[in-house]
Amino acid sequence: MNRSSRIHRVLGALAEAAGRMARVAPGVAGAALVSYGVWTAWAPLGLVCAGGFLLLLDRRIP
C-alpha cells in the first residue's frame, strides 16, 4: 500500500467523523444549554437533567 492511499483513507475517515459531529453538535449544544438553565434554578436537578440528556444522546448517536 502506498503512502497516497493511506493518506486518502485517513482523510476519508476524518471527513466522516467531522460529518457525524456536525450532525450531532446542535443537539449536544441544545442539551447543554437546557441543562445549564435548569442548573441555574437548582443545581442537583441540572445534573440529573444533564445525565438524562447524555443517556438520550447515547441512544441517538449511531
Per-residue confidence in pLDDT tens, the chain, 62 aa? 677 888 889 888 888 888 888 888 888 888 889 999 999 999 899 999 998 888 887 776 66
Cα–Cα distance for residue pair 30/44, rounded to 1 Å:
19
The pLDDT assigned to 28 comes to: 83
Question: Does the pTM of the predicted model rise above 0.75?
Answer: no
